[in-house]
Chains A and B, each alone.
Chain A
Amino acid sequence: MSTATTDRAFARGAFTPRPGAAPLPRMIRAQALLETRMLLRNGEQLLLTVVIPALLLVLFSAVDIVDTGKGRSVDFLAPGILALAVLSTAFTGQAIATGFERRYGVLKRLGASPLPRWALMAAKTCSVLVTEALQVVLLTLIALALGWSPHGDPLAVVLLLLLGTAAFSGLGLLMAGTLKAEATLAAANLVFLLLLVGGGVIVPMDKFSGPVRAVLDLLPISALSGGLRDVLQHGAGMPWGDLGILAVWAVLGLAAAGRFFRWE
């Protein structure tokens, strides 16, 4: 056994107290970068955020599995897959990661650091947005290669993505902050799968019967995929209805997360 650990002392004064927090922007940036690195290093998370959306886009564009209506299927699929990317990162990925951070005392330990709680949440949001930006770029490139021709107002698209992120973040954090990590893992994956099928991502909403569809249309994923499709596929103006649904989910989800989130 090496004794290197005991025979080398620090110069006297190495620990002389000089306490103080780093500037907030530096802390938030470092935290956001670390969280993003943790996510990109995690195989399951990468599967969820990159591989599954990309695979679905390629597979369903190339093979006529689901009847996507008139026009090229990639024009129908690309907006749905962008909605799926937001769902996977802001909801499923964030819920699972945060649930395990809570379970392993990471949130607790960060709570003793100079980083304020709100700044930690801000860093998490930045990390989600950075990841989504990478997803959008990658998926857009794939879709364009498959012959996608998007329309519409980029501002409407950005608004939809941001409000969708807020809505899914609130719900994901609510789950991570109240359930056990294992329960969050299972539930977040199940919800991902259900919303993938029932939220207009790859299956057109008109495949569902009237009353079922009326309920499904109120889900945040349906509002996001529907809104993106209206704009990107049909060149519609600002989709106020869908934005409204997302805003309501965002307010409810974030308020509930703020109220019920437990750090330990």
Chain B
Amino acid sequence: MRYEPAVQVTGLVKRYGARTAVDGLDLAVPRGSVTAVLGPNGAGKTTTVEICEGYRRADGGTVRVLGLDPVAQGGELRPRIGVMLQSGGVYPGAHAAEMLRHTATMYADPVDPGLLIERLGLQACGRTPYRRLSGGQQQRLALAMAVVGRPELVFLDEPTAGLDPQARHATWDLVRELRGDGVTVVLTTHFMDEAEQLADDVVIIDGGRAIAAGTPEELCRGGAENTLRFSGRPGLDVGSLLNALPQDSLAAELTPGNYRVEGRIDPQLLATVTSWCAQHGVMPDHLAVERRTLEDVFLELTGKELRA
């Protein structure tokens, strides 16, 4: 096993006319991992992924995919990667099974297309032409086409956009199995829960740059601390609670009877709060520890305003 990353992007720049879509982006995808690329619309996710797939040339920086230049060595790279485009890619008149079998014939040692069809619930497509399949069926076919050739590395561009919950979970299970079998997966997504569920590493990109990277836990740990909330009698002595808490904690009555404690929420602090409540004859209701979610981190980093 080589330790060189599956994808190594350094200082990537891509311009479309006057617009800079990618502006000095760095990305490293370890082999055998699942990496989620998160970002608002227009952040440069698809452009970055399509440069890695060899569809466009970079205007600056270096891109190595499985150690190869995706444009100059595309012929060598393509049999080793699987690609799921955001949409399309199938003859409008083709049947799902026909198209998957066809894709399988392009590879030396493909996965049995029949198994994939059954697994992804595509038997129901029968002889319906692709253009009349539902959006979810089209997505699942594109996913199957991306993995049928037993690639080392799979790029999935928004694999669960428009899927119902069952199909989403089927897709997630498949991604986990790919990872279990040693396939490297790079996926772009808008869904924070998807990144939290699937990804070993998350890269948040905005304005064409990687603005944060790490495991989901690392990203959620940094920045603002976590929060503990409870409700009880209105007008408790918050000052006395604060005295019982460690130095850097905060406590406040947000609305009458609703209390919030901020700080490093660990078992010790939880015990301190509950024993303080016991001393004061308070039954803490709705006691809840809130952790920062990836969504909080994402919105903190990329802003909450709507984008064009």
A contact residues vs B (CB 8 Å cutoff): 1-6, 8-10, 12-22, 26-27, 30-31, 34, 37-38, 41-42, 100-101, 104-106, 108-109, 111-116, 264
Does B53 sit within 8 A of A, measured CB to CB?
A: yes
- Establish whether residues B89 and A105, one from each chain, have CB atoms under 8 Å apart when the complex forms: yes
Within the complex, the shortest CB–CB distance from B117 to chain A, in Å, comes to 11
A interface, by DSSP: helix, strand, loop or mixed?
loop
10 residue pairs from A and B, CB less than 8 Å apart:
A12-B181, A13-B181, A15-B111, A15-B181, A19-B152, A20-B79, A30-B106, A104-B92, A105-B85, A113-B149
Binary A-proximity of B62-91 (CB < 8 A = 1, otherwise 0): 000000000000010011110101011111
Q: Do A15 and B106 touch across chains, with their CB atoms under 8 A apart?
A: no
Which B residues touch A17, using CB under 8 A? 80, 150-152, 181-183
By the criterion CB–CB under 8 Å, are A106 and B102 in contact? no
Chain B residues within 8 Å of A34, by CB:
91, 94, 98, 102
Q: Which chain A residues lie closer than 8 Å to B109 at the CB level?
A: 18, 20
Once A14-B177, A16-B150 are accepted as A-B contacts, the answer to whether A116 and B111 lie under 8 Å apart by CB is: no
Least CB distance, A182 to chain B, in whole angstroms = 14
Instruction: Please report the C-alpha to C-alpha distance between residue A171 and residue B166 in the assembled complex, in whole angstroms.
Output: 47
Whether B94 and A38, one on each chain, are in contact in the complex, defined by CB atoms closer than 8 angstroms, is: yes
Contact across chains for B88 and A15 when beta carbons are under 8 A apart: no
A2 to B94: give the CA distance in the assembly, Å: 25
Q: How many pairs of residues, A versus B, come closer than 8 Å at their CB atoms?
A: 136
Interface residue B57 (Cβ < 8 Å from any Cβ of A): no
Seen from chain B, the residues whose Cβ lies within 8 Å of a Cβ on chain A are 53-55, 75, 78-81, 83, 85, 87-94, 98, 102-103, 105-109, 111, 115, 118-121, 145, 147, 149-152, 164, 166-167, 169-170, 173, 177-178, 180-183
Cβ of B119 and Cβ of A19 under 8 Å apart? no
Contact pick for B81, options A6, A10, A112, A264, CB 8 Å: A112
Contacts of B87 in A (CB 8 A): 105
Residues on A with C-beta less than 8 A from B108 are 18-22
Output the least CB separation between A220 and chain B (Å).
Answer: 28
List chain A residues, Cβ under 8 A from B177: 9-10, 14-15
B183 near A15: Cβ-Cβ < 8 Å: yes
For residue B92, which residues in chain A have a CB less than 8 angstroms away from its CB? 100, 104
CA distance A107 to B94 in the complex (A): 14
Most chain B CB atoms below 10 A, which of A17, A41, A111 = A17
- The interface residues of chain B lying within 8 Å CB-to-CB of A108 are 55, 85, 88-89
Q: How far is the CB of A251 from chain B (nearest CB, A)?
A: 27
Q: Are A106 and B88 in contact (CB under 8 A)?
A: yes
